[in-house]
Amino acid sequence: MNSLFYGDNLYVLREHIPDVSVDLIYLDPPFNSKADYNILFKEQTGESSGAQITAFEDTWHWNEEAGRTFQNIVDTSPASVVEMMTAFKRFVGLNDMMAYLTMMCVRLVELRRVLKNTGSIYLHCDPTASHYLKILMDAIFGKKNFRNEIVWCYRGAGYPKKDFGRRHDIIFRYCKSSDYIFNLDDVREEYAEATKERFKHYIGNIRNGKDFGTQSLNPLGKQPDDWWQIQPIAPSSGERLGYPTQKPEVLLEKIILASSNADDTVLDPFCGCGTTITAAQKLKRQWIGIDITHLATNLIKKRLKDMFDLEPKKDYLVIGEPEDLTGAEELANQNRYQFQWWALSLINARPYGDKKKGKDTGIDGYIYFNEDMGKVAKCIVSVKSGNVSVKDIRDLGHVMDREQAELGIFITLKEPTRDMNKEAAGKGLYRFTLLNKDYARIQILTIEDLFNGKKPDIPSIYQISTYKKAEAVDHTDERLDF
């Protein structure tokens, strides 16, 4: 089945993806730009939120882990790769860029392993590290298997005062062998009007005195060049979901149509908000997506639901998320932020506040819902993975009062005490006038409750969606597989 993995793509590739099993790889890795990529959520008004969550920090450092990974490359990689990485180490030095190249090298070696002999890989990058990555790709895939340096051109506002405008990305296209898939007719483009007008008249083809006959245009269109003018997604576009590195679907559709066939398997090891996955689903390809943050996998699951009405476990696999209490405890021990984001996704709550960057406000998430007379009500969510006590419930009550929140949800990995339940009950009831129904103001849910299907008792039919809704795909499109 199609598969969405949560986890480090190096581990997933090594443990879950067999040799020569993938037909097409597209990857848009972080560029070592030393930037923090933040996910923007909708406010209850429907506008983008000023509060952001750091999805990942695009900063790499040479440390003990980088040194171990480099040694692993030396011990296990082909001689050409070892020689190139050793040369990089001498030239670049032990710094952030060398850490980034080491991280990319070990993953590119694995990606070559899983790629079929007829397969292609498209590596998307910008000028920050593209020159190094091109040499690295030559060493891993072979110079003879380099096919194109595709320049993705686009327009935009704003120009630097002392430089030319930066208006392109680079996409390196390599193949595994000379026997690669390339569907030229599927990606032909319309001829320019001037060209079509010129060919309405006789155009001879005489070279060295020999007449080769009349020239004519291909009825399917012209062969594409290696520069593609495709606009980034506009801020107001229905396609934009708020993920920082989101690419236009038309860009991925062009790559998938050119270098794979129906039912082929497409892999994106840095899948972000899932554009590669949704493009592959549209075009009747199988897909594998990997991402290291639950913020991304949660967004992808919602996008697949909105666009194709696909459900996890039923229509595709989700691998790496906790499936029982043991798995939840392991995730909490590994990374408490990822545990919080995962737990919030179980009740469709929006993560709040960048705990890595700012102080703890006592709020881990929000749920918004519409009240009478156009008022927006809010429910504050607190998530705890360690030991809990009645103090935690009192703290939640104080935060609710401070934020003037109608409801509060307390999610705990541990069982609540009797005093906690008593304190929660003492917070009283909230009357929701549209349904003429009362709700407990503070509700305690354990992770085990959530695994067993229990949900918060809130006015769910009036709940405001956490993420922007992706546009549903036209089911009448003959390309689609439903």
Q: Are residues 168 and 180 in the same domain?
A: yes
Q: Is residue 379 part of a domain?
A: yes
Q: Are residues 216 and 154 in the same domain?
A: no
Q: Is residue 284 part of a domain?
A: yes
Residue with tokens 């993420």: 467
Q: Are residues 121 and 263 in the same domain?
A: yes
Q: Are 37 and 58 in contact (CB under 8 A)?
A: yes
Residue with tokens 């919030």: 344
What is the pLDDT, as a whole number, of residue 185? 96
Domain with 43, as residue range(s), is 3-187+224-319
What is the pLDDT, as a whole number, of residue 358? 53
Average pLDDT, consecutive stretches of 10 residues, N- to C-terminus, the chain (482 residues): 93 96 95 48 40 49 90 94 96 90 95 98 90 96 97 86 90 97 96 86 70 78 94 83 83 98 97 94 97 88 93 94 92 90 91 63 89 86 95 96 95 96 96 92 96 92 74 61 34
C-alpha radius of gyration, the chain, whole number: 26
Taken in order 11, 12, 13, 18, the sign of the CA dihedral is positive
Q: Report how far residue 66's alpha carbon sits from residue 72's, in angstroms, rounded to the nearest whole number.
A: 10
Here the CATH number for the domain that contains residue 283 is 3.40.50.150
The residue among 140, 318, 152 whose CA lies nearest residue 225 is 152
The residue among 348, 362, 322, 295 whose CA lies nearest residue 461 is 348
Q: Is residue 337 part of a domain?
A: no
Q: Report how far residue 17's alpha carbon sits from residue 236's, in angstroms, rounded to the nearest whole number.
A: 38
Taken in order 403, 336, 58, 156, the sign of the CA dihedral is negative
Please name the amino acid found at residue 345.
Answer: S
Q: Are 463 and 347 in contact (CB under 8 A)?
A: no
Q: Are residues 52 and 146 in the same domain?
A: yes
What is the pLDDT, as a whole number, of residue 390? 97
CA atoms within 13 A on the CB side of 247: 29
The residue among 356, 388, 266, 271 whose CA lies nearest residue 27 is 271
Q: Are 2 and 316 in contact (CB under 8 A)?
A: yes
Q: How many helices (H) and strands (E) does the chain have?
A: 14, 20
Residue with tokens 């005490």: 417
Q: What is the token pair recorded at 304?
A: 């697949």
Q: Are residues 132 and 270 in the same domain?
A: yes
Here the CATH number for the domain that contains residue 419 is 3.40.1340
Q: Which of 178, 207, 222 is the last residue of a domain?
A: 222
Q: Report how far residue 119's alpha carbon sits from residue 122's, in angstroms, rounded to the nearest whole number.
A: 10
Q: Are 464 and 369 in contact (CB under 8 A)?
A: yes
Q: Are residues 211 and 230 in the same domain?
A: no
Maximum C-alpha span of the chain: 100
Phi and psi of 474, rounded to 5°?
Answer: -65, 115
| DSSP state at residue 414 | S
Q: Report how far residue 44's alpha carbon sits from residue 349's, in angstroms, rounded to the nearest whole number.
A: 12
Q: Are residues 164 and 195 in the same domain?
A: no
Q: What is the token pair recorded at 44?
A: 């209850």
Q: What is the token pair recorded at 178?
A: 């000379």
Task: Give the list of residues 6+ apart from residue 203 with CB closer than 8 angstroms, or none.
Answer: 214, 215
| pTM for this predicted structure | 0.87
Q: Is residue 336 part of a domain?
A: no
Phi and psi of 319, rounded to 5°?
Answer: -120, 130
What is the pLDDT, as a whole number, of residue 236? 76
Q: Are residues 199 and 173 in the same domain?
A: no
DSSP 291-353: ES-HHHHHHHHHHHHHHH---BTTTBEEESS--SHHHHHHHHHH-HHHHHHHHHHTTTPEE-S
Q: What is the token pair recorded at 246?
A: 């989101």
Q: Are residues 405 and 286 in the same domain?
A: no
What is the pLDDT, as a whole number, of residue 360? 67
Q: Are residues 233 and 215 in the same domain?
A: no
Q: Report how far residue 158's alpha carbon sits from residue 153's, in angstroms, rounded to the nearest whole number.
A: 15
What is the pLDDT, as a whole number, of residue 147? 98
Q: Are residues 179 and 215 in the same domain?
A: no
Q: How many domains does the chain contain in total? A: 3
Phi and psi of 356, rounded to 5°?
Answer: -70, -25
Q: Are residues 55 and 133 in the same domain?
A: yes
Q: Is residue 282 part of a domain?
A: yes
Q: Is residue 154 part of a domain?
A: yes
